[in-house]
Structure 1
Amino acid sequence: MSVQDITSHAPSKPQALDQDTKRTVFAAALGTVFEWYDFFVYGSLAVLFSTLFFPKGNETAALLAALATFGAGFVLRPFGAIVFGRLGDLVGRKKTFLVTMLVMGLATVAIGFLPTFETIGWAAPILLVSLRLLQGLAVGGEFGGAVTYVAEHADVKKRGLTTSWIQITATLGLFMSLIVIVLCRASMSAEDFASWGWRIPFIGSVVLLVLSLYIRLKLHESPVFQEMKAQGKGSKNPIADTFANGRNLRLVLVAIFGIVAGQAVIWYTGHFYSLYFMTTTLKMSHDQANFYLLTALALGTPFFLVFGWLSDRIGRKWIVVTGCALSAVLIMPLFQGLASYGNPALAEFRAKTSVVLTGNDCRQDQSFVGQLFRPKTTTDCQRVKALLTARAVPYTVNAGAEPLSIQIDDDAPRAFDDAQLLAALTEKGLPPANTPVQPNGPMVVAVLFALIFLATMVYGPLGALLVELFPVQIRYSGVSVALQFGNGWIGGFAPFVATAVVIATGNIFGGLWYTVAFAGLTAIIGAVLLPETRGRDLSD
């Protein structure tokens, strides 16, 4: 039996949404926005956290550790999907919402009270990672439940548009986190923000927690879930029915690799890695990068709704597949454009300059993995690679029998200390460290808009597609597991993997092949195996 056979059902009779249902959908979406804010506010400050919660002495290692900690929030998301997915299918969508919201909110507020590395040493990053894991556990059960809940309230003819309001919540949560951070930075000195001001977005989220819990308490249970329970059709063990049943397991795998994997890497590359790229690689100020990304988000976010609406008209599958295929082709040139427009002086230097490192301590196995767990650089090659990476200087590495030598363009190879190396690169045209970056703002926004547009194309129809893919008895579990394995273990580590590959290779665009590969793979698998689900009866 094919996947198409499994999921082809006659659509139920359309029913218009009454005002009470509209309010319910709005409340579910608004609560999810707040929960995404809690999860993403760390990601928006990850570069700052590298200086606060990790030892000084190797900026590259600290940045990798901060990005890995951001990724740690994704590690438990699949387990959160399993735990809360089971609860959602057994006891209901509403009660599960309340638990995930409470766990997320308390973990976020606790981050705001954490002592830094300077105060309590290695206990600081350990506590930070622990709280990020709790956040991941909570969000693992939140998003799949929210989109399931909304879809089960929606008119069958408007299901794509209605669920796209849930798809939009992740971007709105990121938008809100950036707005709060920008306002905090603008209201105090840079020193005060780095010292204590960064805590405000976390501690202040207690207001969002109280409001979100109030909103969730007023929700009604999903009518589809109530009907299933009344008819005695519910699963006694949703997780076993999801993973042990061959038909359902196939649906999960098709969902992960034919939909979610591509969506995840495209979304996190466009929304988060682009922010790191602008600040750490292109050396834009945080204010510049945040402003450009906020502008692009404001322009691009409505297209989540556009593609959700379009999926109700022409189907969901080919919109998602086309978005993944376009992303696989366009991600690399878009980031190359971002580099050119974001820092023209640096782009000019990179185009005409080459650096070759040769030495007996320059083996590739001494690259980012070793640095991640080593607070200070321990070899000359690591030290120079960290310095060059921090300044976005391209380099290649050769293993040799002699101590480290550095060749710049056609000059003779020789040894440099840090000051000599920077002076030599500056003579070649490297912009000095404190020189303000002069981006081509409109073109930077245009590139960022294109990245976000691609994400909306894949993400807008995704909620309805996933909900329609799974039978009602395991829907909360199936949707949550597929979303969180794809987003948690494939998409969430995209910024870390991309940065790590850059450090290992010296190519600032090298890490983007991770996104290109998963986007392309998803397009192929989706085209071959993914069924069209538009109009499916959700009571089945």
Structure 2
Amino acid sequence: MANIAVEGSARARPMTAEEKKVILASSAGTVFEWYDFYLYGSLAAMIGAQFFTPFPEATRNVFALLAFAAGFIVRPFGALVFGMLGDLIGRKYTFLMTIMIMGLSTFLVGMLPSYYSWGIAAPIILIGLRMLQGLALGGEYGGAAVYVAEHAPQGHRGYYTAFIQTTATLGLLLSLVVILSVQGYINGAYPDMPVLDAAGQPTMAADGSPAMQKAFNAWGWRIPFLGSIILLLISLYIRLQMNESPAFKKMKEEGAASKAPLREAFGNWKNGKIALIALLGLTAGQAVVWYSGQFYALFFMQNVIKVDSFSANVFVAWSLILGTYGFIFFGRLSDNIGRKPIILAGCLIAAITYFPVFGFLTKTANPMLAAAQETQVTVTADPADCSFQFNPTGTVKFTNSCDIAKAKLYSLSVNSETVDGPAGEPATIKVGETVIASYDAGKNGADVKAATAALEEAEKGTDQAAKDAAKAALDAVKGVKGTFDKAVAEALTTAGYPIVAKDNTTVAKAEHVLDIFTGQKITIILILTYLIVLVTMVYGPIAAMLVELYPTRIRYSGLSLPYHIGNGWFGGLLPATAFAISAQAGNIYTGLWYAIVVALMTVVVGALFVPGGTHKKDIFADADQ
């Protein structure tokens, strides 16, 4: 590939075909890297069933989410390591390292034996591979943004870096398309398989028959991971054809490179405050809007309003197709009016509209559930009996009667109100006029143990009546949970709640990827597209904005850390955080406050401290600074 002229005075010319090739090649490689990273998020529930088998379902889902979040938590560390390398040895070679680590980690997830084969080593290795993915992604984005921006003509950085911004969404879309295609083929061509327990033995359904699962859930989910090796080879070929960034080459030729980019970027207040302003005034709000619109919307449909996984993926995929051009539109617009007003406007609009939009999504996708939520449901409990059920590790057991009542209702997507009850009394649930007493699982466990001991003692004697009484007592205490669950289900069913999925004929369902042409399904896709448009507002201009905040010598290091703290921590932990907040509050929408508060914080901090007019800056003039 021919060398590209780098003189700053020439940057105002239109981009050449060769430069466009560089940018498209960089974007294509980044799409593949995002594809690798998103596969896990899209298949987290199925992977959790394979690698976190010994835990209860609720705990297993939390662990699966945390394994997903592990990739986000380590991203800032990847930003530090690869950002430093990118400023020291160049953008191109850092690109090659990140794609190798990401591709091989993804392939190995597909190869990794499950808990049934390797025991506790399997989930530990899985989380380790997720952390390697996060490290690689932490170095990927900053390099891609810097590389493209340093090739773009003056006055067109927002437009050209917007192509990099599309790669995250296109990577998600690619992962969904591959998953849907493989899922449809595998489930159609291969028979269902039994669900296994921690010992690798088939489990039984409530009617005594073996519990079954689709072939894709059992083993087919591995195929998209294994297939990523093909994308890795393509990405390596693409990136080996790329030249070094012209601004970096100019800086190296002039001997102006930083010898300690991390210390220079973060070790003094002059540059350190830029990172802090970028985090709180730009990337934190951008992150929560991005993850709310793409990931939490998918999580909300599948886990809260009970749209089946295939249908939810179809609706999100179509919204991504319709909304992705917004990245290019807002990136180009930011070249004319600036980056700051567009990003902050997206955060503000999201904060104002999230509650009505997600409420409308529920009414559209599952109108039976939305109608049932009009029924007053009240939990009456001793305040001392209620715990704050935020459980990020999934290891804490909440056994009080209040906790059990609230967890049960939230698992069924019931909005409830909690009121103070008499001290020392067990919690009760009131649905309409029906009152159901909850139970203390700890006390019930002790009762089961005592009744079991009493039955064993009775079995030693010859009094059949005593044996029958002891057995009846044991059955009674063992049946407390089942009796409670049945009573709650009957009361909610009477109130109109769709407790059994097959009885809910109003929930949106797509039979195939083109089954979207009904009023209900089109409306769902339009709602999701609106959320994607908000994503494009905050994300389209962000790369160019961050590039313009730093000089060439520390640009890779400087922008990577605030970006990945914002997106890795504020954004990546959003689904688990929002879920926990909603479960604690007893309302399926309360978790949205997390995204709203962070977005409003960014509006305030950004309006006060983020500089405007950066779109007019000549970033090539600072190569020797």
Return the TM-score normalized by structure 2: 0.82
In the other structure, the counterpart of 1:419 is: 486
Q: Residues 435-470 of structure 1: CA distance to partner in whole angstroms, max 9, x if unpaired?
A: 255332122111111111001011111111110111
- For 1:446, the equivalent position in structure 2 comes to 526
Contact 2:109 2:126 in 1 (8 A): yes
Q: Using the alignment, how far apart are the partners of 1:49 and 1:29 within structure 2?
A: 29
1:258–1:525 Cα contact (<8 Å) kept = yes
Tell me the matched-pair count: 529
Q: Give the corresponding residue for 2:408.
A: 387
Segment of structure 1 superposing worse, 100-109 or 436-445: 436-445
1:233 aligned onto 2:313: no
Partner Cα separation in structure 1 for residue 170 and residue 226 of structure 2: 19
2:591 aligned residue (498, 511, 533): 511
Q: 1:110 to 1:344 in 2, by over 3 A?
A: same
Highest Rg: 1 or 2? 2
1:452-493, Cα deviation, whole Å (9 max, x unpaired): 100101111111111011111100001111211111111110
Structure 1 partner of 2:501: 434
> Aligned match of 2:618 in 520, 537, 540?
537
CA distance in 1, matches of 2:274, 2:392: 39
1:481 — aligned with what?
A: 561
Distance 2:498 2:179 in 1: 28
Cα shift at 1:422: 0.8
Contact 1:359–1:403 at 8 Å: present in 2 too? Answer: yes
8 Å Cα contact 1:32-1:166 kept in structure 2 = yes
CA deviation map 1:105-148 (0-9, x unaligned): 11111111222234433333222211111111000000011010
| Structure 2 residue 6 is the aligned partner of structure 1 residue 34 | no
1:176 to 156, 166, 174: 174
The CA deviation string for residues 480-516 of structure 1, in whole angstroms up to 9 with x for no partner, is 1121111111111011101111222211111111100
Aligned mates of 1:127, 1:378 — CA distance in 2:
31
Report 1:76-475 matches (<5 A): 76-189=74-187, 191-358=214-381, 362-365=385-388, 367-369=389-391, 372-374=394-396, 378-397=399-418, 398=420, 400-415=423-438, 417-435=484-502, 436-439=505-508, 440-475=520-555
**Aligned mate of 1:24, from 22, 25, 37:** 22
Contact 2:377 2:429 (C-alpha < 8 Å) held by counterparts: no
Structure 2: where are the runs of 5+ without partners? 1-7, 188-212, 439-482, 509-519
RMSD, aligned α-carbons:
1.9
Cα–Cα, structure 1 residues 346 and 56, in superposed 2: closer, same or farther, change >3 Å? farther
3-state SS of the aligned residue for 1:453? helix
SS at match of 2:364: helix
Amino acid at match of 1:315: G
Q: 1:231 to 1:83 in 2, by over 3 A?
A: same
Change (3 A) 1:467 1:425: same
- How far the C-alpha of 1:378 sits from its partner, in A, is 4.4
Q: Which moved more, 1:105-114 or 1:396-405?
A: 396-405
Percent identity, aligned pairs only?
Answer: 43
SS of the residue aligned with 2:214?
helix
Compare 411-420 and 289-298 and name the one that shifted more: 411-420
Change (3 A) 1:72 1:159: same
In the alignment, is the contact (CA less than 8 A) between 2:14 and 2:153 conserved in 1? yes
Deviation at 1:12, TM superposition (A): 7.4
Q: Deviations over 1:407-456 (max 9, x none)?
A: 22343453451122111211111113222553321221111111110010
Give the whole-Å Cα distance in 1 for the aligned partners of 2:309 and 2:410.
19
Tell me which amino acid in the other structure corresponds to 1:162.
Y
Report the residue type matching 1:407 in the other structure: K
On the 8 A contact 1:361/1:381 being kept in 2, the answer is no
> Is contact 1:76-1:133 (8 Å) kept?
yes
State the alpha-carbon separation in 2 of the partners of residues 13 and 411 from structure 1.
73
Q: Deviations over 1:210-237 (max 9, x none)?
A: 1101111110000000000111111100
**Residue type of the partner of 1:480?**
S
Alpha-carbon separation, structure 2, partners of 1:340 and 1:122: 42
8 Å contact from structure 2 (residues 405, 428) kept in 1: no
Determine the C-alpha separation between the residues in 2 that align with 1:371 and 1:392.
22
CA deviation profile, 1:125-184 (whole Å, cap 9, x unmatched): 222211111111000000011010000000112111000000000000000010011011
Structure 2 counterpart of 1:216, which letter?
Answer: R
Q: 1:381 to 1:232 in 2, by over 3 A?
A: same
* Rounded Cα–Cα distance in structure 1 between residues aligned with 2:393 and 2:35: 31
Match of 1:500 among 570, 580, 584: 580
8 Å CA contact 1:11–1:536 kept in 2: the answer is: no
| Range with bigger deviation, 292-301 or 348-357 | 348-357
Q: Deviations over 1:80-100 (max 9, x none)?
A: 000000000000000000001
Distance 1:200 1:362, change over 3 A: farther
Q: Describe the SS at the equivalent of 1:127.
A: helix
Flag the 1:11–1:378 CA change in 2: closer, same or farther, 3 A.
Answer: farther
The amino acid across from 1:395 in the alignment is S
SS in 1 for 2:352: helix
Q: Which amino acid letter does the alignment assign opposite residue 22 of structure 2?
A: T
Alignment partners' CA distance in 1, 2:489 and 2:339: 52
Segment of structure 1 superposing worse, 412-421 or 207-216: 412-421
Q: 313-322 or 404-413: which moved more?
A: 404-413
- 2:391 maps to amino acid: V
* Residue identity in the other structure for 1:61: T
Give CA deviations for 1:325-344 in whole Å, capped at 9, x if unaligned.
11111122211111111100
Give, in whole Å, the separation in 1 of the partners of 2:506 and 2:179.
21
**Which structure has the higher relative contact order (CA within 8 Å, separation 6+)?**
1
Residue 486 of structure 2 aligns to which amino acid in structure 1?
A: A
SS at match of 2:379: strand
Structure 1 residues 353 and 119, CA gap change in structure 2 (3 angstroms):
farther
Report deviation, 1:49: 2.7
In structure 1, the residue corresponding to 2:535 is in which secondary structure? Answer: helix
Listed one character per residue, the Cα deviations across residues 237-282 of structure 1 (whole Å, up to 9, x for unaligned) are 0000011121111111111111100110110111001111101111
Q: Deviations over 1:388-407 (max 9, x none)?
A: 22211123445741234322
Query: Against the structure 1 CA distance between its residues 57 and 95, is the aligned structure 2 distance closer, same or farther, given a 3 Å change threshold?
Result: closer
Q: Which residue does 1:70 correspond to in 2?
A: 68
Which structure 1 residue ranges, 5 or more long, are not aligned? Answer: 1-9
What SS is found at the alignment partner of 1:160?
helix
1:13: Cα distance to partner? Answer: 4.8
**8 Å CA contact retained: 1:64, 1:499:** no
Which residue of the partner structure matches residue 7 of structure 1? none
* Higher mean displacement: 345-354 or 114-123: 114-123
TM-score, reference length from structure 1: 0.94
Which of 338-347 and 428-437 deviates more? 428-437
Q: Which amino acid aligns with 1:529?
A: F
Moved more, 433-442 or 484-493: 433-442
Contact 1:57 1:377 in 2 (8 A): no
